A and B are shown apart, each in its own frame.
Chain A
Amino acid sequence: MAGYKPVAIQTYPILGEKITQDTLYWNNYKTPVQIKEFGAVSKVDFSPQPPYNYAVTASSRIHIYGRYSQEPIKTFSRFKDTAYCATFRQDGRLLVAGSEDGGVQLFDISGRAPLRQFEGHTKAVHTVDFTADKYHVVSGADDYTVKLWDIPNSKEILTFKEHSDYVRCGCASKLNPDLFITGSYDHTVKMFDARTSESVLSVEHGQPVESVLLFPSGGLLVSAGGRYVKVWDMLKGGQLLVSLKNHHKTVTCLCLSSSGQRLLSGSLDRKVKVYSTTSYKVVHSFDYAASILSLALAHEDETIVVGMTNGILSVKHRKSEAKKESLPRRRRPAYRTFIKGKNYMKQRDDILINRPAKKHLELYDRDLKHFRISKALDRVLDVMQDSDFFLCCFPTCTIKTPEITVSIIKELNRRGVLANALAGRDEKEISHVLNFLIRNLSQPRFAPVLINAAEIIIDIYLPVIGQSPVVDKKFLLLQGLVEKEIDYQRELLETLGMMDMLFATMRRKEGTSVLGHTSDGFPENKKIES
């Protein structure tokens, strides 16, 4: 025969933002640390090697910050004009940066003066990067050229003059030392091969390209420009995979999460959006105080650093995980207790007798199964017996999950035993019930059940009213609540009447009314005699 069916707990849809694993993940950061820089933060780059320092390019300086430091641990300020795009080499020991005057400078992290200076661009160099073999540097400048430099002898190897406007972004492939990509204000993204003298691939973005990003595998290219973020399939010869339009201002920076599962984009509309790289749907979004120019994620997404136009660097650190072990856990049976006998193989002459798995029941369900109705109600009201200490603070169950309490009250009513469960309580116990009623009576989703319970309580305890000041006070509170609610409903009805009049004056288009309607009046509750 069928076993005991547990009480159906009414679930209510959670309003507002849906809680998903992504929101949980991306909200699990501490409040941001704000660091004021000298000018707009145009680039943030994390060192790929521990201790994962990051270089922040702002105005004519490059600051290197440690992971938790709020003061720069190192500063490069040998720039005559604005510096751009300070980027770490893969080993984290060299840093390259472009500058407004057309120079490209290579720094040693430990040193102060530039190791190399690459001269050749005539205008501002906005993008520089190391190639995958670590010995070359790619740079793109406002003179429409892209140049490849050799580090050891600081010579220019190649120059590409295919872009017809400023080259503002680029990146080198992490796998192939000869491949790199640049994006330009001429709306194109071009892929260059150092072995040939011209571009091997060109895609039309449609807007001035502000940022490009290659996936670690090199198969997918992401470009950002205008309000669009576009994903291109490189292996299909630059076919557009998806075009995302989730920002309402220019997208300025792109970044991949460390797992490669999520793509982040920052924009002048002060938002950072997180996309899933499988479905390209927005799964999360951050808000910032100012327009975002640069964005970087640390190793394992430990830190999010965002640079903004107002020169503020916002640094968010992930919350530490090891906080939950605060309460001493009760010792549970060992794992082998649970698997005991489970892996026994049936022998030839054995008869296997299966014992049906015992269904886990909540405590209130166990009480209800045995028809201990008052106890079940106490359980969900979470009455702490014989402990005055706890009475001052409210019980947890009723505050966090009132729907369970309401469902149990409903179930008791369905069984026709609600009056029995509510009767015979002393001052302390009845005040618990009343506390719950006061807190939840005015909620429309609980009201029908709780009003019924309140009526039953009033009927039962009417003869003894006046004997306990505590309970009397609660009754008065309840009365006030009900009166307030009635007033409120009356006001609502008045508003509804006014709106009806307004609608009536307007010409009715159709024979139907799709007007949302509130419930016609709160069922009048009994006045409480005090």
Chain B
Amino acid sequence: MVEEENIRVVRCGGSELNFRRAVFSADSKYIFCVSGDFVKVYSTVTEECVHILHGHRNLVTGIQLNPNNHLQLYSCSLDGTIKLWDYIDGILIKTFIVGCKLHALFTLAQAEDSVFVIVNKEKPDIFQLVSVKLSKSSSQEVEAKELSFVLDYINQSPKCIAFGNEGVYVAAVREFYLSVYFFKKKTTSRFTLSSSRNKKHAKNNFTCVACHPTEDCIASGHMDGKIRLWRNFYDDKKYTYTCLHWHHDMVMDLAFSVTGTSLLSGGRESVLVEWRDATEKNKEFLPRLGATIEHISVSPAGDLFCTSHSDNKIIIIHRNLEASAVIQGLVKDRSIFTGLMIDPRTKALVLNGKPGHLQFYSLQNDKQLYNLDIIQQEYINDYGLIQIELTKAAFGCFGNWLATVEQRQEKETELELQMKLWMYNKKTQGFILNTKINMPHEDCITALCFCNAEKSEQPTLVTASKDGYFKVWILTDDSDIYKKAVGWTCDFVGSYHKYQATNCCFSEDGSLLAVSFEEIVTIWDSVTWELKCTFCQRAGKIRHLCFGRLTCSKYLLGATENGILCCWNLLSCALEWNAKLNVRVMEPDPNSENIAAISQSSVGSDLFVFKPSEPRPLYIQKGISREEVQWGVFVPRDVPESFTSEAYQWLNRSQFYFLTKSQSLLTFSTKSPEEKLTPTSKQLLAEESLPTTPFYFILGKHRQQQDEKLNETLENELVQLPLTENIPAISELLHTPAHVLPSAAFLCSMFVNSLLLSKETKSAKEIPEDVDMEEEKESEDSDEENDFTEKVQDTSNTGLGEDIIHQLSKSEEKELRKFRKIDYSWIAAL
């Protein structure tokens, strides 16, 4: 990094995928979902993120395919704009500025020039459905202020609006009534559930609505788990409804299949139910989807469904109810007990994931690597059930061991506690359960730490508990003549005047163990387990405890609940310094002496980075987050940065990530978030990895044979092709969609020139001889290009091939080069 900007807090991945219904592309090859300020394009086959559509300045709240051009996508956002995208290339085509916050977006094939959005104009909680007329002007940014009002007093969620029967009517639900607006008659009918006023049936609020694609039938989901199918609603009096009841909890979303023969529903049970022919008897289930189903959507082709889940996951499901792909983001459904950890092997971020699981999340790719099932029990998702929670986890011995603690506390006296120790197996590349310890302590375990010293011959684990004891567990050889086995056993139990043990921490070399008992810090020798000394500052219970590292290893740091940060010198056994700081998070950097502390005040959270040897912080950043910061962690960098400025040096070798109360994962960076993200050059990835279906076997073979024939004839060029592709100018040209390129005549000379130059760099002498060959090659190239961009081709490129091939003079060449430079920047700006 050469230039140094200010350090700022940036979001780093982990964005929500389940905020709105996902949308399939017309050919079911891609799936789109909103994700924070972006729209993400995933391949349905490979689960790979193909594009991220940047552009909105606030939360994206709705996406829909353009009904007139299924290669385009509309999105709306809270920033008051509707944007039109070319999703295959990830390019913004047009922006319509509406001006007010948009909460949802709907499109109709019948209403060609307008889309429907949900806005709240006057009061904050009154929402309206309006239609927005989109002008056809060709400019990039268009004002779209022409709003026409459709429905008032509607629910904010797009699940409560549905357009039915080819856009003849729109149905909206809110609380206890269903309103249907007929576009032709311009009238609204309102149906209230007869029993809605009855106290006994108070739970039958509407939660979602879906309309049959061809018939006059509206399906509505209710709080009590019922699905009602409304018919005959043209008449206010004679309307009828039938009930379908399987869900025992709220129906979260409904969707009709494309033909309308079946209805899909889902809820908290995490079971996708398919109702065939809208009858109660004919139903199919897809159980154990892992978490509450938030949204269901159906692909326009009808071959795929997808469900969005509360654990930030999208499951793509085949027509025959078989899950085919899972797109999993950072699971953020539940509160994080384990804190943030780094797996020493994969360098992945590890924290609570799905219920009972530990998730390994790659920070580089914003992708979940895998889930480790810790609790290994059937998960029953029911409201009010007390689940077994994974409360603590720690890695030890360079990732060879993982310790986890799970607990379930129903009443004060009934505590179920279990500690598990997992060993890393190199053969299976995963963790295998080694030891299970029932009730390792009488009360909750407050802290867990491994001795990570390099020279330690025996893995050691220390647990501290509220029952006033800390226990030392060691790995012992458990093998006999029948089997080889290792297991963990308790080696030592220590206590200090029956105070609750709150924290424990090993020094860097593993020779000392610090355990805090409420206000008192005790130091133990890790060889003999003798109490060496105690520190007490009478400044409240110790909340965090850590040893200094490297040159500062003689210091011990403790942060108390009364807002005092103390630093003790272990050589003199005296207080070195203390400071008034209400520390919420204190994390040592594994690669340096630095320690990061995040303090909490009424205004927000502040970051302090300091070395234990001196009380003056190296770096302060105020107001890193308005919320409470819950956890933080230093992540070692793969490639060290080289900040020269003293204030930023702490970021050289590690990066600091932290998690706020609303579970957004943030970090400090000097780069803008766009730069940070990995380049997504995997264009048309799905195209190349076609699945081998039976159809492929029938048709693909013919094609292969044809291809082979072609290949025989075009053998020469295939040899030549890689050469031409190496030239950046050509690849740039080929990968830019045709409709955004300038005219062919304009590009032609540049194109040719680039070819010439490439030859020149290899051997300048060959050029005159190769002219003829090159002519051929170029024409072939243009063919190739046509194949390549067939999908997006609007204008023809045929002019490119048969072009002037003449030797350019040096001055001309220079000019063209200049030209190319300009041109590049212009392309890059897209």
Among B379, B414, B481, B492, point to the contact of A279 (Cβ < 8 A).
B481
Nearest-Cβ distance from residue A504 to partner chain B, whole angstroms: 14
User: Given A7-B378, A416-B382, A512-B493, 13 other A-B contacts at CB below 8 A?
Assistant: A1-B289, A5-B376, A5-B379, A6-B378, A21-B482, A278-B481, A281-B481, A411-B377, A416-B385, A452-B414, A512-B495, A513-B495, A519-B442
A250 to B419, CA, bound (A): 47
11 inter-chain pairs at a CB distance below 8 angstroms, sorted by A residue, are: A1-B289, A2-B288, A6-B378, A8-B376, A8-B377, A414-B388, A415-B385, A416-B382, A416-B386, A514-B492, A519-B442
Asked if B124 is an interface residue, CB under 8 A from chain A, the answer is: no
Among B380, B480, B496, point to the contact of A281 (Cβ < 8 A).
B480
Query: CB within 8 Å of B: which of A405-461?
Result: 411, 413-416, 448, 452
Asked if B697 is an interface residue, CB under 8 A from chain A, the answer is: yes
CB neighbours (8 Å) of A276 from chain B are 481
Q: Are B376 and A510 in contact (CB under 8 A)?
A: no
A519 to B467, CA, bound (A): 12
A292 to B245, CA, bound (A): 79
Given A7-B377, A512-B531: A1 and B697 interface contact (C-beta under 8 Å): no
Asked if A3 is an interface residue, CB under 8 A from chain B, the answer is: yes
Q: Are B531 and A3 in contact (CB under 8 A)?
A: no
A413 to B530, CA, bound (A): 43
Query: What is the 8 Å Cβ interface bit string for chain B, positions 561-586, against chain A (1 contact, 0 not)?
Result: 00000000000000000000000000
Q: Are B377 and A514 in contact (CB under 8 A)?
A: no
A21 to B483, CA, bound (A): 12
Given A278-B481, A281-B481, A510-B531: A4 and B378 interface contact (C-beta under 8 Å): yes
Asked if B10 is an interface residue, CB under 8 A from chain A, the answer is: no
Given A1-B323, A21-B482, A283-B481: A415 and B380 interface contact (C-beta under 8 Å): yes
CB neighbours (8 Å) of A2 from chain B are 288, 290
Interface centre among A21, A279, A448 (most CB of B within 10 A): A448
Asked if B759 is an interface residue, CB under 8 A from chain A, the answer is: no
Q: Are A3 and B288 in contact (CB under 8 A)?
A: yes
Nearest-Cβ distance from residue B492 to partner chain A, whole angstroms: 8
CB neighbours (8 Å) of B385 from chain A are 414-416
Q: Are A514 and B531 in contact (CB under 8 A)?
A: no
Asked if B494 is an interface residue, CB under 8 A from chain A, the answer is: yes
Nearest-Cβ distance from residue B170 to partner chain A, whole angstroms: 35
Asked if B768 is an interface residue, CB under 8 A from chain A, the answer is: no
Nearest-Cβ distance from residue A238 to partner chain B, whole angstroms: 26
CB neighbours (8 Å) of A369 from chain B are 378
Q: Are B378 and A351 in contact (CB under 8 A)?
A: no
Q: Are A4 and B288 in contact (CB under 8 A)?
A: yes
Query: CB within 8 Å of B: which of A1-43?
Result: 1-8, 10, 20-21
CB neighbours (8 Å) of B679 from chain A are none
Query: CB within 8 Å of A: which of B397-412?
Result: 408, 410
A397 to B510, CA, bound (A): 49
Asked if B694 is an interface residue, CB under 8 A from chain A, the answer is: yes
Asked if A480 is an interface residue, CB under 8 A from chain B, the answer is: no
Asked if A466 is an interface residue, CB under 8 A from chain B, the answer is: no
Query: CB within 8 Å of A: which of B480-499?
Result: 480-482, 492-496
Asked if A333 is an interface residue, CB under 8 A from chain B, the answer is: no
Asked if A328 is an interface residue, CB under 8 A from chain B, the answer is: no
Asked if A511 is an interface residue, CB under 8 A from chain B, the answer is: yes
Nearest-Cβ distance from residue B476 to partner chain A, whole angstroms: 15
CB neighbours (8 Å) of A219 from chain B are none
Among A8, A415, A510, point to the contact of B530 (Cβ < 8 A).
A510
CB neighbours (8 Å) of A448 from chain B are 414
Interface centre among A4, A369, A514 (most CB of B within 10 A): A514
A20 to B482, CA, bound (A): 8
Q: B: which residues have CB within 8 A of A?
A: 286-290, 315, 323, 376-380, 382, 384-386, 388, 408, 410, 413-414, 438, 442, 480-482, 492-496, 529-531, 694, 697
A416 to B388, CA, bound (A): 12
Given A7-B377, A7-B378, A278-B481: A511 and B384 interface contact (C-beta under 8 Å): no
CB neighbours (8 Å) of A497 from chain B are none
Measured CB to CB, the nearest residue on chain A to B480 is A281
Q: Are B694 and A351 in contact (CB under 8 A)?
A: yes
Nearest-Cβ distance from residue B214 to partner chain A, whole angstroms: 31
CB neighbours (8 Å) of A6 from chain B are 378
Measured CB to CB, the nearest residue on chain A to B534 is A511
A276 to B480, CA, bound (A): 11
Q: Are B290 and A5 in contact (CB under 8 A)?
A: no
CB neighbours (8 Å) of A260 from chain B are none
CB neighbours (8 Å) of B287 from chain A are 1
A415 to B385, CA, bound (A): 7
CB neighbours (8 Å) of A278 from chain B are 481
Asked if A523 is an interface residue, CB under 8 A from chain B, the answer is: yes
Measured CB to CB, the nearest residue on chain A to B371 is A2
Nearest-Cβ distance from residue B533 to partner chain A, whole angstroms: 11
A7 to B495, CA, bound (A): 36
Nearest-Cβ distance from residue A19 to partner chain B, whole angstroms: 11
CB neighbours (8 Å) of B442 from chain A are 519
CB neighbours (8 Å) of A20 from chain B are 480, 482
Measured CB to CB, the nearest residue on chain B to A13 is B438
A3 to B482, CA, bound (A): 33
A6 to B378, CA, bound (A): 7
Nearest-Cβ distance from residue A292 to partner chain B, whole angstroms: 24
Nearest-Cβ distance from residue A526 to partner chain B, whole angstroms: 13
CB neighbours (8 Å) of B377 from chain A are 5, 7-8, 411, 414
Among B414, B531, B697, point to the contact of A351 (Cβ < 8 A).
B697
Nearest-Cβ distance from residue A128 to partner chain B, whole angstroms: 36
A201 to B380, CA, bound (A): 74
Nearest-Cβ distance from residue B383 to partner chain A, whole angstroms: 10
Nearest-Cβ distance from residue A14 to partner chain B, whole angstroms: 15
Interface centre among A5, A283, A413 (most CB of B within 10 A): A5
Interface centre among A6, A276, A414, A510 (most CB of B within 10 A): A414
Measured CB to CB, the nearest residue on chain A to B693 is A351
Interface centre among A20, A415, A452, A511 (most CB of B within 10 A): A511
Measured CB to CB, the nearest residue on chain B to A281 is B481
Nearest-Cβ distance from residue B532 to partner chain A, whole angstroms: 11
A269 to B568, CA, bound (A): 61
Measured CB to CB, the nearest residue on chain B to A515 is B493
Q: Which 3 A-B pairs have the closest CB atoms?
A: A5-B378, A279-B481, A511-B531
Measured CB to CB, the nearest residue on chain A to B436 is A11
CB neighbours (8 Å) of B530 from chain A are 510
CB neighbours (8 Å) of A413 from chain B are 410
Nearest-Cβ distance from residue B99 to partner chain A, whole angstroms: 44
Interface centre among A3, A7, A8, A368 (most CB of B within 10 A): A8
CB neighbours (8 Å) of B286 from chain A are 1
A281 to B697, CA, bound (A): 63
CB neighbours (8 Å) of B413 from chain A are 523
Q: Are A514 and B493 in contact (CB under 8 A)?
A: yes
Nearest-Cβ distance from residue B272 to partner chain A, whole angstroms: 10
CB neighbours (8 Å) of A512 from chain B are 493-496, 529, 531
CB neighbours (8 Å) of A452 from chain B are 414
CB neighbours (8 Å) of B376 from chain A are 5, 8
Query: What is the 8 Å Cβ interface bit string for chain A, positions 272-287, against chain B (1 contact, 0 not)?
Result: 0000101101010000
Nearest-Cβ distance from residue A239 to partner chain B, whole angstroms: 23
A524 to B481, CA, bound (A): 46
A2 to B354, CA, bound (A): 13
Measured CB to CB, the nearest residue on chain A to B326 is A1
A6 to B376, CA, bound (A): 9
A413 to B408, CA, bound (A): 11
CB neighbours (8 Å) of B438 from chain A are 10
Nearest-Cβ distance from residue A10 to partner chain B, whole angstroms: 7
CB neighbours (8 Å) of A279 from chain B are 481
Measured CB to CB, the nearest residue on chain B to A410 is B416
CB neighbours (8 Å) of A514 from chain B are 492-493
Nearest-Cβ distance from residue A281 to partner chain B, whole angstroms: 6
Q: Are B494 and A1 in contact (CB under 8 A)?
A: no
A4 to B388, CA, bound (A): 17
Query: What is the 8 Å Cβ interface bit string for chain A, positions 483-515, against chain B (1 contact, 0 not)?
Result: 000000000000000000000000000111110
